Every structure is written in structure tokens, then in C-alpha cells.
Structure 1
Amino acid sequence: MNESRPRTLTGRGRALLTCGVTLVLGGILLGFPDITRIGVLLAVLPLLARLVARRRPPRLSIERSVTPARLQPDERAEVVVDFANIGDRATPLYLAEERIDYVLGDRPRFLLPRMEPGARRRLTYRIRSHVRGRHELGPIALQQQDPFGLTHVDLMIRSVGEVVVLPRIEALGHGRPPGSGLGNEGETPQMVALHGEEDVSIRAYHDGDDLRKVHWPATAHRGEIMVRQEDRPARRSAVLLLDSRQQGHAGSGGHSSFEWAVSAVASVAVQLGEAGYTLHLASRETLLDGTVEQPLSATEVVELLAVAETGDDVEHSRLVTTAHGLTERGGSLVAVVTDLDDRSVTDLAGLRQPGTSSLAMVLDAAGIAEGRRTTSAQAAGHCDLLGSAGWRVVSVPAGVTARAAWQSLTRLGSFTVTSS
């Protein structure tokens, strides 16, 4: 949709009008008709330019394409803007400016040449952002000036696009959460299909198995009693919990504790996704849209984290309560939390279920913001509390990378890691 703005005199036009009025008044007061006539001419020129400026704006349509549409931090993308004249008359020469978020760089400016009815023009520019999130592209502001530069007419084309900048992903190495039992925490065993029974897996007989499930063809083939296992064991699953409490985080921009937490959860999601885990994201975003219990791929988790924002304590309490329903089903639990208060850590400790692995990165938020490389007493106390509940814990002051924290969690038990 095109939105026309009032015709406005430029600085040159206003100066000319002011000079003209001054000369007219001076000529009349001093009795110099020639000066008065010159003043009238100077005053009339910008007024005529304003009157003859195009009254009815042209009809333009815009289509944008961004390649790639999903960016890694500091990755460049190419934006292609296609203009089309869908009106019944030619457009004048315009100075165009794309309104984009400041984190994407300087606003691109370019000349949009004259277009006949039905004509199209394609313009391109590049963007780059080191800040994750969903960023808008547009609208586009067009400006037309008269040949003398005395007046201009603004036109706003309210067509917008967007580009998504994903969280920073860090390679975590080969670490995996401990635990290799069957069920939600176990591997998916290879299925054996005999005689067309594609949906039935076969395993060795165990004491107490129902003899009616003996699979006689497989028993004869293997030389030992084999039984049908009609329920496929589930894939490994993991719950990823992000502490988004605004009061618990410190710092600003890409060096804040919250950005560290988002990047760490995204990196863990990619790591576990590559290992075949089914993921559940427990964050403020999935809590608000009711999708905490929805299984997600690593790609979906990362895209949700791209727009993660901080919230309040009430939302975090609801999130922990909701996560209980997921952890009761088994599977691994990975939490990135702050050192805000002891009560929330006590509630968090109760998420761990017997026989499952629970891993926590406890952020020393103030230490990260201040660049302090030693763990605070508050964060160390949280680590001790979670460790006593059976968690594997690592504290994160400034200088500790997500890779170092993850490798420590998946290699050792409850402890504190400090940066070198």
C-alpha cells in the first residue's frame, strides 16, 4: 500500500522563499520597484514548484526475496527488491531508502529510475547482523524532487519483509548425556522383520515373558526362544530448559548472560539433534504458545530461540511446573539457569527423576557481565544444591565457553568450572 506524504519545500526552497519575501518587503518600504519585482520572482518560484509537484502518487508494488532467509550471526545475506509499476502512467525518478533495523547495517539508498506502465526494476543490497532475532525489512521511502531542488514529495510504500538471525551455534565436541537404558532414555534398537511382519521386532526371551508371544519361525532360525516385541522402544529424548528471568540476567547486547544462555541451549539442541534425540524446549516462548510438550527438531528449537526474550519470575515458575510433566516420562534434562535465588533452584532440583540424567549450567550472571572469571558464592551454592540432588552441574563465570561447559558436564560429575 502506498501512502503519500505532504509536499514539502526543501532547504533551498525555504531559503529562496524567505529571501523573496524579505526583498518584497524591503523594496516596498524603501521604494525600489525593481527590488520588489525580484523579490516577487524569488518568492513565486518555490511556490510554483510546490504547486506543480505531482499530486497523485504512482501505483507501485514491491516483492522482496532474501538469500539466505535464515542467517547465522555475522553472515551476509543478499536482499533483492523488485519494483513494478502497476499504474497507468510513468513514474518519475525517485530517491529510495529502505527502512531496516539498525542492527542490519546502514539503511540502503538508491535511485529508482523512471518506469513506464507495466515496467519492472530490480535493486539489490546486502545486510549483516551480529544480533539474533527476527528483523523487519521495509517499508521503503521514496522521494521526488523538482529539477531545481526547491520542493520534494515523499511516498511511503508499506511493504515489509523479514530476515531471521539465528543464535550463535558452538560446536560442542562428542559429549553426550550419560545413560543408555531402553525406553525414553534408550537407543532405538534395530528392528527385525520376518515373514512380512514389518511392525514387529524380535528379541530374546526373558524370564516372565508371555509365552503366547513366542515367535516360532525366529526361534527355529536362531536356535533360542525369541519373542515378539510389538511396542517399539522410543527414541532418546531430552528436555532443554532455558531460564529467561530478566532479574536473573545481567549485561547487555551479545555479551550478556542471557545471550550466553540462548547460545548454549541452541548449541546443545544441535548436538543432541545430530545424535538422534527427540527434543522438547521448555522456554518462555513455548510456555506462552502452549507447545512445551510438543516434540521438536533441532532446527525448530534453534528458530524458536532466535526470538527468545526475557520474562518474569511467575513465568519461570509456571515453566518449571510444566516441565515436570515432561521429565516424569524419562529422558535427559539439560537446564541453563541463573543464580538468582535458592527457592527456584530447589524447585528445579525436583525435576530430576530417578535413573535419568540431569545436567545444569549455572550462570554467574554478574560475573559474566563484569568479566569476572571466578565463581561467586551464590552460583557455587546453587551448584552444591543441584549436585546434592543428583544433577551434574557446572558453574559458568566469564570466559567459560559453551563447549567447555558441555564437555565438563558429559565427562565428570558435579563440580565447578572456572575459566583459565
Structure 2
Amino acid sequence: MTMRLTGRGVAVLVAAVPLLVFGHWGGYPLLRALGAVALVAVLAAVVITARGLKVEVRRDVYPDRVERGSAALARLRVKNPGEGRQPAALATDGLGGRTQTVRIRPLAPGAEAAYHYELPTGARGRHPVGPLTLHRTDPFGLSANRLPTGETSTLWVHPRQLPARVLVSGHPRHHHEGARTDDSLRGSVDLQDVREYQPGDEVRHVHWKATARSGRLMVRDLIDPEQPRFTLLLDTRADALPPEGFEEAVDVAASLLVAAARAGSPARLVTSSGIDLPTPGGLPATRQLLDELCQVRQTGPDDSLVPAALAARSGSGGCLVMVTSAGVGLPALSWLNDRFASIFLIALGAGRRAGAVAGARVLGAPDAAAAVRQWNEVAG
């Protein structure tokens, strides 16, 4: 808890001293009275704000994950646990360099009050909410008592998700000449991962060896090998897109990946900076993908559009979508045809026309909304 004079209080105190001195030495009763009033006002402000702020404060953010531009609220609960009445105060909360001030009403002993205020969600990212600070000031704003309180919360602002269709095609397991282009089939299902048991999982999928090793109930995460697979490559090179254009590219990536994951298809996010996030699809995968896209940032210009992790894989099948800019040199992608059944390149850039790219179908669009509309036309 910190109590100090405000800028106004310091100015009044500085003015009070010379008024008293000159009024006393010069025999000016008016100056002496003005100085005395100013000094008494400062002392009274200190006495008023010296009393400690003894309240319990809890702040909740809901929902803690929102789409960019959607509503997010903070709920502030203030309780007076003491036997004395707590006077009014101000609460200041912070998010991303901005502050929100809430006026706390006086609280009777044992009373509790709740306050709601909106949080800004215009910028994508993982934003800390807080710290929360309580302020008590005198009526003239000469002195303030500050008490940092409450825990720092986190607000995840996900990219926009535009309605997107899922590509109506699977991935061929063989090349035109009969050579395999994907992993070998071993039965009707493939083991994707071993994870901790969640309510609703089938008991027959329990992995007993992993359970014995970890001490927690573990299950096999299985996928249908004939299920369509969707891979999206996001261009994160700093010289490919301007900041506002990169946000549009992230919106496109979120829209297509979420559509594929919600449809139950294995969805994989890859970036030029080296992020490689494969998911088995389903609702849990959508949160995992959106959390990753929430934090993705542009990197240096030295990165290659196609990262080594994607280029080195012998084959992953399904559909590959690259999201980049129409303003950069687009490389030929025919060398990836033996890894993917179909390749699309979404080139973003207002007023720019994307040229043909060997080995890929190019969709040129000025922004995310237009890009997703074009995708829906070819995917349906």
C-alpha cells in the first residue's frame, strides 16, 4: 500500500508555504489565511487517505478466449471483510497498455459488490489483464492511497474465423504410377498419439503400458488413415506482407484450419518460421490451433517460404494450402506434388494480380473475406 500526494497536492503544499511566510512577515492577513487554508487542506487529505484499503478483490475474465473484435468482459468482485465501513475508491485495470477505471461504491461491513467492464479485443494476441490497483483519493484530489491487488489474468484474442468449407476430397494413397505417396496403411486406424484420459474416451483405447509408466490413465489417440488431411502453410516472413496484410493472412489460416478440424479432419499448421503443429482434428484441436495462431508473429526475411520440416517429409497426403502475398516472387511448387494430392496458393494483396504457379492452383484476393469466398467456391 502506497500513500502519496498527487501533483495537485504537491502544488498546493508548495504554494501554502510562501503564502504563510510572506503573509506573516509582511503583515498580510489575507495571504496568511490563504496559506493556512491550503496547508490544512493538504493535511486533511493525508488524514482522509491514510486509512488502509482493507477489501478482498477478485477479477474474472470471461470468456478468456474470444475472436478478434468480439466482446470480452471482466467481472470485478469487491468485498469488505472488516467490521468498519469502507469508503468509496477507484479501481484501475490494465490490458495491452490501456487502462480501465471503475468507481467502487462505499461498502458496509461484510458487504460485497460486483462490477463489469468491457475489455478491448481489437488486437490479436495473448494479453495479460492487470495488474489491478485500488485508489482512494480525497474529494479535492490532493492525496492518493494505492493498493495493488488481485491476480493477473490472461485474455486470448484469437484471429477472426470466417465461414469456410472443407475441401470435398480425401488424399490418394498412391501416385499415378502406383508408387505410394503417403505412409503405409496398417489396419483401419492409425495411432496418432498417446494422451491422458478425458471423460468420454472409450475404455478399450486405454494404453496400459503408458498408464503404468506415467501413473496416470493414458489412452490411444486413433485416427482413420483414409480421412482427408489438411495442411496449411502460413508465410511469416516479414518482407512478404505488411502488418495489416499479415493479420488478414492469419484470419485466412484460422478460418480454413478451424473448418477442417471441426469436420474431424487431421489439421496441421506450418509456418515459414518453423512452427509445425499437427492435430488429429476435432473440437480440442480447434483450440490448440487458435491458441498457436493467436501468438504467431512475423519473423526475419531470411526464412524460406517452405520450411525444412515440410520439405523434408517423405509424404503427408491430403491438401496443402499456402497463404502468402501476391507481391512477392512465388516459387514453383511442382516438387511438392508427390507429397500432396492437391496444392492451393492463396495470394493476398490489394490491387495485385497473382500469377500462375507451377504445381499449384492460385487464388488471388485483396483480403481474408475475399480469399475465403474464393476458397469456398473451389472447395464445395
TM-score by length of 1: 0.67
Counterpart in 2 of 1:168? 160
Query: Is 1:363 matched up with 2:348?
Result: yes
Contact 2:162/2:369 (CA < 8 Å) preserved in 1? no
Counterpart in 1 of 2:331? 345
Aligned equivalent of 1:67, options 62, 66, 80? 62
Q: How does 1:10-409 map to 2 (within 5 A)?
A: 11=8, 13-14=9-10, 16-32=12-28, 34-35=29-30, 37-49=32-44, 51-55=46-50, 57-85=52-80, 91-101=86-96, 107-114=100-107, 116=109, 120-127=112-119, 129-147=121-139, 149-157=141-149, 159-173=151-165, 175-176=167-168, 179=171, 233-250=225-242, 252=243, 256-283=244-271, 287=274, 291-293=276-278, 295=280, 297-316=285-304, 320-326=307-313, 328-339=315-326, 341-342=328-329, 345-346=331-332, 350-353=335-338, 356-364=341-349, 368=350, 372=351, 374-375=352-353, 379-380=354-355, 384=356, 386=357, 388=358, 390-397=359-366, 401-409=370-378
Q: Give the whole-Å Cα distance in 1 for the aligned partners of 2:50 and 2:39.
A: 19
Contact 2:319/2:340 (CA < 8 Å) preserved in 1? no
Matched residue of 2:33: which SS? helix
The structure-2 alpha-carbon separation of the partners of 1:404 and 1:86, relative to structure 1 and needing over 3 Å to count, comes to same
The structure-2 alpha-carbon separation of the partners of 1:327 and 1:52, relative to structure 1 and needing over 3 Å to count, comes to farther
Q: Give the whole-Å Cα distance in 1 for the aligned partners of 2:59 and 2:182.
A: 44
Which structure dedicates a bigger proportion of its chain to helix?
A: 1
The structure-2 alpha-carbon separation of the partners of 1:188 and 1:152, relative to structure 1 and needing over 3 Å to count, comes to same
Q: Give the whole-Å Cα distance in 1 for the aligned partners of 2:314 and 2:34.
A: 84
Shift of 1:98: 2.1
Which stretch of the first structure deviates more once superposed, 348-357 or 155-164? 348-357
Shift of 1:267: 1.1
Give 2:100's aligned amino acid: R
Q: Give the whole-Å Cα distance in 1 for the aligned partners of 2:106 and 2:313.
A: 59
Shift of 1:153: 2.0
Shift of 1:99: 2.0
Matched residue of 1:71: which SS? strand
The structure-2 alpha-carbon separation of the partners of 1:274 and 1:38, relative to structure 1 and needing over 3 Å to count, comes to closer
The structure-2 alpha-carbon separation of the partners of 1:87 and 1:352, relative to structure 1 and needing over 3 Å to count, comes to farther
The structure-2 alpha-carbon separation of the partners of 1:281 and 1:115, relative to structure 1 and needing over 3 Å to count, comes to farther
Q: Give the whole-Å Cα distance in 2 for the aligned partners of 1:398 and 1:294.
A: 27
Contact 2:90/2:135 (CA < 8 Å) preserved in 1? yes
Give 1:393's aligned amino acid: V
Query: C-alpha offsets along residues 160-192 of structure 1, whole Å, 9 cap, x if unaligned?
Result: 21222221111124643575558969999989x
The structure-2 alpha-carbon separation of the partners of 1:303 and 1:232, relative to structure 1 and needing over 3 Å to count, comes to closer
Give 2:13's aligned amino acid: L
Q: Give the whole-Å Cα distance in 1 for the aligned partners of 2:77 and 2:159.
A: 29
Matched residue of 1:248: which SS? coil
Q: Give the whole-Å Cα distance in 1 for the aligned partners of 2:250 and 2:309.
A: 20
Query: C-alpha offsets along residues 346-400 of structure 1, whole Å, 9 cap, x if unaligned?
Result: 5x55434256211111223xxx2xxx2x41xxx42xxx2x3x2x22222234696
Q: Give the whole-Å Cα distance in 2 for the aligned partners of 1:8 and 1:358.
A: 66
Contact 1:240/1:280 (CA < 8 Å) preserved in 2? yes
- CA-based RMSD of the aligned residues comes to 3.9
The structure-2 alpha-carbon separation of the partners of 1:51 and 1:311, relative to structure 1 and needing over 3 Å to count, comes to same
Bigger radius of gyration? 1
Give 1:8's aligned amino acid: L
Q: Give the whole-Å Cα distance in 1 for the aligned partners of 2:322 and 2:184.
A: 20
Shift of 1:262: 0.8
Q: Give the whole-Å Cα distance in 2 for the aligned partners of 1:143 and 1:354.
A: 61
Contact 1:80/1:122 (CA < 8 Å) preserved in 2? yes
Identity %: 23
Query: C-alpha offsets along residues 32-53 of structure 1, whole Å, 9 cap, x if unaligned?
Result: 4x34642452243144235535
Aligned equivalent of 2:4, options 3, 7, 16? 7
Contact 1:333/1:359 (CA < 8 Å) preserved in 2? yes
Give 2:121's aligned amino acid: S
Unaligned runs of 5+ in 1: 192-197, 200-230, 412-420
Matched residue of 1:298: which SS? helix
Matched residue of 1:7: which SS? strand
Matched residue of 2:362: which SS? strand
Q: Give the whole-Å Cα distance in 2 for the aligned partners of 1:157 and 1:63.
A: 9
Give 1:30's aligned amino acid: G
Query: C-alpha offsets along residues 258-298 of structure 1, whole Å, 9 cap, x if unaligned?
Result: 1121111111112222433101110268x35xx53565623
The structure-2 alpha-carbon separation of the partners of 1:102 and 1:150, relative to structure 1 and needing over 3 Å to count, comes to closer
Matched residue of 1:261: which SS? helix
